[in-house]
Chains A and B, each alone.
Chain A
Amino acid sequence: MIAIVDYRAGNLTSVARALEHLGHRCEITDRPERIVSAERVILPGVGAAGATMDNLRALGLDRVLLDEVIGKGKPFLGICIGIQILFDRSEEDDARCLGVIGGRVARFPNQLDGRPLKVPQIGWNRVRQLTRHPVFTEVPDNTHFYFVNSYYPIPDDPTVTIATCEYGVRFTAAIARGNLVATQFHLEKSGAAGLRLLDNFCRLVN
């Protein structure tokens, strides 16, 4: 079973529908024992970093994710806000985050070369793969994925970045370390390529 972490925000059902479409059993839950017993854990969502962290802490799920999921090497996938809260801090709400990955989350500039840059970025953008990570199996390099983001992660250790994207700046679009994978783009809204990536995550072997 795949646990989708319910932290009282974001669009959790779209990830559940995509997983069901792919034939994977999943459950939207905030119960620690369900998350601990799941084979894999997904933290999806749209939302603000501060509110997400507040909700996770109020539900006691920050410790569960740190100690029982990521700390134990259980396969974990973060999507959108789910990549951002892995870092030390986010400029959004000046939020202190989980600190699993060293680094911070910054806001896109409002201007670029004197021209306004629309923030948030909304739409399909090319994702450049830096390594042939197993989650990209059968996904061609430079495939478009669907993004909705005002903020982007900046890892201290550049080797965790497995894919980048350009929007005003070149930024980290996906990271991986061991069994932890996270993407800034929405796999569940990125058509066949997103479904393939999601399916690849569900088949990652420990």
Chain B
Amino acid sequence: MLSKRIIPCLDVRDGRVTKGVEFLNNVDVGDPVAMARFYYEQGADELVFYDITASNERRGIMIEVVRTVAREIFIPFSVGGGLRNLDDMRAVLLAGAEKVSIDSGAVRDPSIISAGAKAFGSQCIVLSMQVKRTGARPELPSGFEVVIDGGRLFTGKDAIEWAREGERRGAGELCVNSIDRDGTNAGYDLELTGAISRAVSIPVIASGGAGEPEHLREAFVSAEADAAIVASIIHYGKHPIPTLKRYLAQRGVEMREPPRLERSIN
């Protein structure tokens, strides 16, 4: 049986991780490569890096980070943030990322979803969306609205319909981030995640709000998510990945347990 994936998220600005990790002793907590390596060894199933670099001139720094990470860790990882066209995607993939995560750029120009899928394969294209509850109305039947540009711009797009469109256009996976829950530690938006899981037949990644191990179980079981993004729940050492996995496995959720090999080869 396919296991559910736990995906740590690292926000990177100008080549440095922005949210610190307080519990690591020998790891440079600002260094994305060291942190990727740490989570890889902890049993992360995948990683995602969001480049939140403000200026365009400094975007090349992220490509260097990707190149170094790809030499150090041997699980899939995706890169998102500011990807607007095929050239942006190609640069990240050539540097060694397995997938690209496209968000605001795809809302502005939905044709980049299909162009990316055609050029690199659907399995490379993660359509990521920021969603806010703004109330159901005729043009927004679900009441879940897609927002872009870091939550500043409301698009009027219904998240459920956008998910279906993304699938039609060739996205390989959908990452659904609840702006309402982000940073609250109150749990994923299960209603939103579940509605999207049931609307599409590609994998759905829950994002935003994880604060307790039970929140992941709810996302996987009630909302039928295939994977879950984790950030502060692991960054601050409260529930390290092995603890999360043990909690979930004991409750019948299929989890990948990294093997203990006789000779370490990480």
Contacts and interface: CB of A to CB of B under 8 A. Distances in A.
B34 interface: no
B96 A192 contact: no
Interface in A159-206: 166-167, 188-196, 199
A174 B2 CA distance: 17
Interface stretch (A16-24, A64-72, A93-101): A16-24
A122 B203 contact: yes
A64 to B, nearest CB: 25
A72 B45 CA distance: 38
A188 B265 CA distance: 13
Interface residues of B, number: 36
B70 A14 contact: yes
Nearest to A119: B201
A123 B226 contact: yes
Interface in B215-266: 226-227, 256-259, 261-266
Given A118-B226, A140-B259, A192-B264, A21 B123 contact: no
A33 interface: no
Given A123-B2, A192-B264, A196-B261, A21 B74 contact: yes
A13 interface: yes
A189 B40 CA distance: 11
Contacts of B93: 11
B54 interface: no
Interface string B91-113: 00110101000000000000000
Interface of B: prevailing SS: loop
Q: Which of B1, B70, B76, B266 counts the most A-chain CB atoms under 10 A from its CB?
A: B76
A134 to B, nearest CB: 15
A4 to B, nearest CB: 15
Contact of A123 (B5, B70, B202, B262): B5
A192 B259 contact: yes
Contact of B256 (A11, A124, A167, A196): A124
Interface stretch (A54-62, A84-92, A141-149): A141-149
A123 B172 contact: no
Nearest to A147: B2
A140 B259 CA distance: 7
A144 B256 CA distance: 6
Contacts of A21: 71, 74
Nearest to B1: A166
B226 A199 contact: no
B251 to A, nearest CB: 18
Contacts of A13: 70, 94, 96
Given A21-B71, A148-B123, A191-B75, A139 B226 contact: no
A138 interface: yes
A194 to B, nearest CB: 6
Q: Which 7 A-B pairs have the closest CB atoms?
A: A144-B256, A124-B256, A148-B123, A195-B265, A124-B3, A143-B259, A123-B2
Interface of A: 11, 13-14, 17-18, 20-22, 46-47, 110, 116, 118-126, 138-140, 143-144, 146-148, 166-167, 188-196, 199
Given A11-B93, A46-B121, A139-B259, 12 more contacts: A46-B123, A47-B121, A118-B202, A122-B123, A123-B2, A123-B5, A144-B258, A146-B76, A191-B40, A192-B259, A192-B264, A193-B259
15 contacts: A11-B98, A13-B94, A14-B70, A120-B122, A120-B123, A123-B2, A123-B45, A124-B45, A125-B1, A138-B263, A148-B123, A188-B74, A190-B75, A193-B258, A195-B265
Interface of B: 1-3, 5, 40, 45, 70-71, 74-76, 93-94, 96, 98, 121-124, 172-173, 201-203, 226-227, 256-259, 261-266
